[in-house]
Structures are given as C-alpha cells and as structure tokens.
Amino acid sequence: MEYTIKNDMISVAVSSRGGEPKSIISNDFVSYLYEGNPNYWPGSGPHLFPFIGRLFEARYLYDSVSYPLSIHGFLKDSEMELEELGDDYIVLRLDANETTLTHYPFDFTLKISYILEENVVKIIFDIQNNDKKDMPFAIGGHPGFNVPIEEGLVFEDYYLEFDEACSPKRSQPTESNLLNGVHLDFPLEDGRRIYLKHSLFDDDAIILKDAASSVTLKSDKGTRAVRVDYDGFKYIGFWHTVKSDAPFVCIEPWSALQGFENEVQQIDKNDDMIVLKQSESTRREIKITIIS
C-alpha cells in the first residue's frame, strides 16, 4: 500500500513496505527522491533495522544461537501497519511477529513517522523494547536523491557540503564489503566538500565517522538542493551503484557499521549497537530539507 501526504510546498509518497519513501516532489513538480530503476538500483530510500550492512555468512550470534539476517536487516521487506494518517503526516508501525523472531529474538515495537513542515520532511523512528532482556539494535536510512536535480546540469556539477568543517575518517571495506577495522583520514575539499564523480563509488559506499551532523547536495550552477540533517547518528554514508553512471546519490545516516570479515558477530557484544533495557524506548530523526 502506498500513501501520499502533502502540504503547500511538497508531497511525499510512503510505502507500507518498510515505511520506505517512494517520492518527494516539490509544488512545482520537480522530483528530488530517486524513484528506482532496476538498471541501477530498484530502491528509493529503504530503512535499515535491526542491523546495517552485511554480516559475515549472513548471520549473527545471540546467546550462543545463530540467527540469519540479510543485508540491512528485515525492516525493508516488512509490511507495516498504518497507525495514523493526516494530510501532512503518517505513522506506520511494526511489532515483533513470528517472521521477525526467526531473524531477531526480541519483542519490539518500531514506529516510523513522517511529518511535513513547509519544505522539510521529518522521518522519525521510535523504537520500544517490549522484552524482558536488553535489546541491541542498529537503525539507519538509505534515501537516494536525483543527480542532477535540474535540467541542463550533469552529475559532476554537484557536490556534498557539510554544514561545518570536519575531519572525517573512512571505514575501509574488504572485497566482500565487510570491516577490517581500518579507518583512514578522508580529506575534504575546503574542509567541507566532496565533489561528485561516478568513480567515487567504484569501491562501494563511502562510510564516514567524525563528520558533521548535516550535509547538503548542491551545485553552484543551479538553485535546487537537498539538505539532510542526522544528529544522533554516528556515521554517514554516500553511495550509488558500483562502477556505473547511476543518476543518483544516497545519503545514509547509520547508527552502526556492517560486520567484520571472517567473524560471526555476537550482536550483544557490538559496541556500536544501541541497547534498550526492558520497557525502554528511544527516538532517532532524519530531516530532509528541499531547497527550490
């Protein structure tokens, strides 16, 4: 099921499958969110839970039991229940069920809310631990944005600009896109910018830590841009389809990294994981600002 919410400035389509955004369109009919193309990537903005990235052997351990889990977890493939719907907001809900328990042995409630405020899309994750044991998890976003946004421009006209100077480090992936524990300095142009070119992503995603908490996709040759704020997320990733001329870039706030090479992860021993005690809840928010 797909739902549309809107105000005077933007409209957003949201799927009940994983709560994924399917389009973000300005009031003058410009599409900002990449809407999927199987020739490059069929997604548009999947949400990631309860783990982010790949796991070695596509499984992890909890309490000496092995659980299978595919890349980015099961939320992206889960049908969510509509809890609230208004003209400019929507709340979707996923409760632990027979299917999720085969992959993740915890009783939880996850709500994803979209709230429109003028030209801003707020995506809010509320996670509740309903279990009697501590619940470790990761949460993240994966929205893709069209590049170019405006006619007459090309991919290489755009850059990513952090809102303040920073000195991030890049997680170095192995050939199978798992971790090896190495983080290298990732110099930015003028201390803030990453100029786009397709070859940036030949080695897969650029995952950074110690970066600023917001970034803007923009071009000096145009006026349209997208700003993503992700305070509360430890990592920020940038990606498009490897070794391609894909017409988009993903801006991915992550709370944790993927698994390590040659190591079946013990999910409760991962220092990156958010841990909720019994009856505890937490909130994370991604804010997307559409600049026309």
Predicted pLDDT at 181: 87
Mean pLDDT throughout 3-20? 98
Please name the amino acid found at residue 83.
E
CA distance 153 to 2: 31
Domain coverage including residue 121: 2-291
Query: Of 20-29, 55-64, 148-157, 178-187, which range is least confident?
Result: 178-187
Q: What is the pLDDT of residues 57-107, one digit of tens each?
A: 999 999 999 999 999 999 999 999 999 999 999 999 999 999 999 999 999
Mean pLDDT throughout 45-65? 97
Task: Report DSSP letters for 26-77, one per residue.
Answer: ETT--B-B---BTTTBS-S--EE-S--S--GGGEEEETTEEEE--TT-SGGG
Predicted pLDDT at 173: 85
159 within 8 A of 196, measured Cβ to Cβ: yes
Q: What is the pLDDT of residues 109-156, one digit of tens each?
A: 999 999 999 999 999 999 999 999 999 999 999 999 999 999 999 999
211 within 8 A of 166, measured Cβ to Cβ: yes
Mean pLDDT throughout 247-273? 95
* Distances in whole angstroms, Cα of residue 263 to Cα of each of 6, 49, 138, 170: 45, 20, 18, 21
Give the count of domains, the chain: 1
206 within 8 A of 254, measured Cβ to Cβ: no
> What's the CATH number where 173 sits?
2.70.98.10
Model confidence band, residue 268 (pLDDT cutoffs 50, 70, 90): very high
